[in-house]
Amino acid sequence: WTLLAIILKQWYQRRVRATAQIQGDLRAFERRITKAVQYLEPKSYRWRILLLLSVFFVLFSGYGFITNIQLDTNFSVFSALYENKIFAVALMFLGLLVLTGAHKRANTSAIILARNRQVLLEYNLSCNDKGKLIIKPSKDKEI
């Protein structure tokens, strides 16, 4: 019996050490995700504000463009844009933002969290919008 007790004690100690190591790894992973989200959130907030301001500027100057447009037989889009330079500049600025990927930069933290959730799903884990890990119940039925 003493041999069996020694074997069981060693098995239990190894299991406790492995569990502690797994918990430490999970905590380190959680800290890394939260740091990434905290780092990217102010930058993505700035990009959102810039895009929002640009869209509003295009909308308001576009209203002026539409109300001032005069449809003649010689109507040209370029001449209409030349007459409404504010709308043309606002439209080019918004187009430049979209071409440089500002719409992706505005959602960087959300994209990273979505990709992490997709990977963590395989391990019955998830994370909230701040990057904190959420342990989900196991899908397997234990007997």
Per-residue three-class SS string for the chain: CHHHHHHHHHHHHHHHHHHHHHHHHHHHHHHHHHHHHHHHHHHHHHHHHHHHHHHHHHHHHHHHHHHHCCCCCCCCHHHHHHHCHHHHHHHHHHHHHHHCCHHHHCCHHHHHHHHHHHHHHHHCEEECCCCCEEECCCCCCCC
pLDDT at residue 69 above 80? Answer: no
User: What mean pLDDT do residues 100-120 have?
Assistant: 90
pLDDT at residue 133 above 80? Answer: yes
| CA 37 to chain CA mean position, Å | 8
Phi, psi (5° rounding) for residue 96?
-65, -40
pLDDT at residue 7 above 80? Answer: no
Cα–Cα distance measured from residue 38 to residue 112, given in angstroms and rounded to the nearest whole number: 12
pLDDT digits (tens, 9 = 90+) for 28-60: 889 999 999 999 888 999 999 999 999 999 999
Position 55, amino acid: V
pLDDT digits (tens, 9 = 90+) for 82-94: 888 999 999 999 9
Q: Which of 5, 22, 11, 18 is nearest to 133 (CA)?
A: 22
Q: Give the model's pLDDT for residue 143.
A: 47
